[in-house]
Structure 1
Amino acid sequence: MAKESKDLTQPTGLETDAKAAAKKHSARSIAMGAAFLMAMAAVGPGFLTQTAMFTGQMGANFGFAILICIIVDIVVQMNIWRIIVVSGKRAQVIANDIFPGLGYVLSFLVAVGGLFFNIGNVGGAGLGLNVLFGISPENGAVIAACLAIAVFVVKNALTVMDRTVQVLAVVKVAILVYIMSVMAVPYQSAITHTFMPTSINFYAIVTIVGGTVGGYISFAGGHRLIEGGLKGKENIKYVNEGALTGIGIASVIRVLLFLAGLSVVVLGHKLDPANPAASIFQFAAGNFGYKFFGLLLFAAGMTSTLGSTFTSTSFLDYAVSTKQQHNYEKYRRWLVIGFIVVSTAIFYFIGSPAKVLVFVGALNGFILPIALAILLLAARNKKIIGDYKHPKILIYTGWLVVAFMAFASLETFIGLFK
């Protein structure tokens, strides 16, 4: 009897396992890229400025706003990432599916907020270079903008962006850990007032939540996963890994910066209103600490510039077919360059990044309940998510965040006229 010939074109068990392992590694790598992109966008120059300013004004009570921010972050990111990935569509396309034209409104809100935030991002990076090397903040912003453009125009831009953000994230954490090590941190006061504040400032909550969760930041991770090809409910595992990792990284940095600022404030030091975050590092470690602050600010500005540019320009992509996607990709590089150039030019000729960052943080706080409500409506639409069952706990807590942020935003708006 003739022996059966072996089909050499069929993959062996080892080859199949190797391909599966490679696919799993690739998916996890994309999820971690999304995690760091979201986390580092959330703790950019805006967060440094806002945290320092409000810690100087409110002391340990600001810990309550940080706590609310972390809770809201978990609810918002888990809802938005899941719905985007399961649907396989970007947020603006989902919004148009719910109500024709709604996606264009969402794109306008997110892109405009992202543009204004990017003014502060490139400005922050420029200020960081000013502290480090003494060059003017304006020229520093131009250098930072050129570096950001270089990241986006190289081959394998998404991978380069992921690696750049991850390296700068390590720099941020290392600097904050060092500053904490040379200061006497009032842990007991911080913990007590975080869970039992003696006063609550809704403007601080709306601003810090808007600056770290609102606007483009809510969609950075979800859109990065889509760009990486992770679509459908079979990728929920990687959505959870990416979202929780990103939230964890951002939360650690938020808490470290708050504690560093509180350590300075309880000693009676007054933070400089023009650059409150710099004051924290200068009081903590003198000129050496000030130089460290420059490096931290540059890293924060660069990571947020990358995150803001990537996410804001992704809201101009309405492609729902391969042909449409190819047409969009032809112009994407110029959209990215234009976005960075315009925001840098505005900073170069207008300046005042600290004021811009705080104001836009509040603006993004107004956008958050609108954006989250749109995605929660999509979670009940079978035409968008198919037979996927969105967890009820995420739906209920999501609507709770919508109601709370709408209320807090309204309180803030009314307070402006008192």
Structure 2
Amino acid sequence: MAMNIKRPNGTEDVLPKDVYKWHTIEKIARETAESFGFSEIRIPTFESTNLFLRSVGETTDVVQKEMYTVKAKETEFTLRPEGTAGTIRAMLQNGLLNEALPQKVYYMLSCFRHERPQAGRLREFHQFGIEMAGSAAPSADAEVIMLAKTLLDRLGLKNIELHINSIGCPSCRAKYHEALRAFFEPHKEELCDTCKERLVKNPMRILDCKSPICKEIGKDAPVILDYLCDECSEHFEKFQKYLSKFGIKFIVDPKIVRGLDYYTKSVFEFITTEIGAQGTVCAGGRYDGLIEQLGGQHTPALGFAMGFERLLLVMDKQGCDYLTPKKCDIYFATMGDAALEKAMELVKGLREYGYCAEYDLMGRGIKAQMKYANKIGAVYTMVLGDNELNDGKARLKEMESGEEKEMILNEKFTANFENEYFNKILDVMDDENGSMFAFAGEDK
């Protein structure tokens, strides 16, 4: 009977043949973050719904339309729609903000939003993000952007533009809200129902509306940069100065307001035009009031997140390099029970040294075993039968070249194989067209 159960709409399966692409991003992201002094944090998949109501904002699309919320008896939980709120909650609850500042953490996690699925926008999606708590300095803003750009560069992405803006502090934003209400009030009846509500509660959110009509109305709206107080204006000027010191090119884009209410002052997005409408591959900014809003002492903070799925879309589009998938280092083709037992003994020793070693588990004939070894990309193969066991030696075959070498089947087999593998890697390194990633033994 055919299986009629399919994965939920808006989710994806990552198959073994593709997971090496994810490993590439995870490896480079982790190494880049740690080189900037960030440490990994892991948080729950779901949190109290109130956490997101207080942090993300009740007027946002995320809260009003997109959250997955469940009730368990008297308690209400929500699958995390983003990583910042849960991370800040974890910092507060575990006392990290009482330790040396700034606190710098990174995470890799899945998020959940009920949206219309499309390329680069799924209902379950994955993010790499960083959060820095404790510094109000504009140099910290430049530092987190430097981290993001370094990561994008190391992944090999090109033609990515950095757009920045300042959305001010609560003080100067209040004056801006008054100007926006005055601008949008004559168009109130033309706005979508959500933006009619936003006009009262948070008119700046209208600028982030996806409705074509609201976008058209808002294109001539006042810009926040004309309403910044002296402190926010100075912060934004220094922020731009430090970006220039890092040699980072940017575009000042007054239309960037970000989709979550906790942002203040600096906001930014790294944008590409190569994957259609969902062109933002990294977004973030400063949220100096969030920690206090969640019950902590006033502590400035900032961060960013970038989506794995969108990064992969751009990397595939641009033909970026990935780390070579892990291959089987050696496959033992066996004939008979005695040979099978010998293969089990040999693979045990090789695996203890970190090699990927396999042998037949299907009871195939020798020809079928060699076909299987070829399909899984085994670098070496070795046939074991009665003759090889009686002689105490067998021939090691390099599959790509067809070259063979006799090996002694004794207690030094693992060391001899390692020498053979190591010498082959040295040969590849000597080849001007060679690559360290040509073999799966990269970490040996």
Q: TM-score, normalised by structure 2?
A: 0.26
Tell me which of the two structures has the higher relative contact order, counting C-alpha pairs closer than 8 angstroms and 6 or more residues apart: 1
Q: TM-score, normalised by structure 1?
A: 0.27
Between structures 1 and 2, the one with greater helix share: 1
Between structures 1 and 2, the one with greater strand share: 2
Q: Flag the structure with larger Rg.
A: 2
